[in-house]
Structure formats: structure tokens, C-alpha cells
Amino acid sequence: MAFQIKFCIEIDCKNNLLIVKDVTGVYNADTNPTGWGNGYETTDVTDVTFTVVVPGLSEPFITTLDVTGGWDPESGVSVAVGTLEQLGLPEGSIWQDGPVIVTAQIVGQTVLGEAFNFKVETSKVATCQVACCTAKLRAQQKPCGCGCQDDHVIDAHLHLLGIHWAWDCGNRSKALANLAELQAICNKKCSKCNC
């Protein structure tokens, strides 16, 4: 199989931070035939540019990573792309729920002199606000014996799971529909949750 760079996104709701991780791993013919080390090394990379789109940001944020010397392909590279303020949102901003899309442009030259230019896009749904709401709804649930759970608490929890499951399976419209339904539950049932 051919070399394939893989990144994942982490959203740190508490610190309003976006983290991008290289999860390509080390080449192994049996377990990771698309990893670093079969003709492409992290030390061959000369430039990595991230283009980031987050909810509430009118223009994409673009940043270049200093990759001098490469990185350890076993542990990957973990890049704190920036806080929401560094991405261009006003000071004091909090994560808005919705799609986060990161495109990485990786440029370099192999030891054999072959230039390469890979473009990789990865995405995730930010759910900081609805996750907070769901957690607070669960915490507010009063024990009432067998079989009398509040339906909105169960609905909120299932919608939260459904957002990520649908997105990860490639059904973005279903993920966003789940997000909209969960936001409606939160607006109605968690207006004083202070998320």
C-alpha cells in the first residue's frame, strides 16, 4: 500500500484549544503499510501548513509549523494549533458547536531527491456546549426509582453520541441534524446550565 499521512483533531473545551495530531505511525509491512518510513521520513518534511475552519470564524486561519528536524513517527507530532483567540475569534470566546475542518499541506523532499506535496483534510464536530448541557442535565436528574427517567436526559445523551457516530461514519448531514436537535433540547431544558 502507498504512504498515507493521517491526522486527527482534538478539541480542548476547557482551555479553548485546538490540537492536531499526526497518527500516521511507523511503517510496518504487516500492521501499518501506509506509515512513515517506507520512502518517506518525517525528517524529509520541509513545510507543514494548516488551514483551519472553526464555527464562528469568518475566514480560515492559516499557520505554518516549524518542522526542522522532523518528529518521532512512533509518537507522532502533536500541535497545539492555537486558542480560539489565536485562531482569530474575539477574546473570551468559547467553542461554538459545529464542524471543525483542518487541512494540512505537507511539503518535502525524500533522500532520493523526489519532491512530495501531500494535502490531507480531517474534521470533527465541536460539541463543547451541548456536551456540557448533557452532562449538567444528567447531574440534575433526580433518582426516582425504576423506570422514571426524564426522556429529555436520555434523548440528549443519545443525540450527543449520534453526532459523533454519524460524523465518524461519513454522514455529516445526520450528525448536524443530531446537533440541531440536541441544541433545541439544551435551549429548552438547560437555559440556566451556564455552559
The domains of the chain, with CATH numbers, are 7-126 (2.60.40), 128-189 (no CATH)
What's the longest Cα–Cα distance across the chain?
70
All 3 cell numbers of residue 157?
Answer: 445523551
Q: Tell me the whole-structure pTM to 2 decimals.
A: 0.84
**Phi, psi angles (nearest 5°) of residue 127:** -130, 30
Q: Which of 44, 105, 106, 38 is nearest to 70 (CA)?
A: 44
How high is the mean pLDDT of the chain?
87
User: How sure is the predictor about 82, in pLDDT bands with cuts at 50, 70 and 90?
Assistant: confident
Residue 120: Cβ within 10 Å count: 15
Digit-coded pLDDT (tens) for 15-49: 888 999 899 999 999 999 999 988 888 889 988 99
Digit-coded pLDDT (tens) for 141-159: 766 555 555 678 888 989 9
Task: Report the distance separating Cα 124 and Cα 179, nearest Å.
Answer: 12
pLDDT score, position 30: 94
- Given a cut of 80, whether residue 53 has pLDDT beyond it is yes
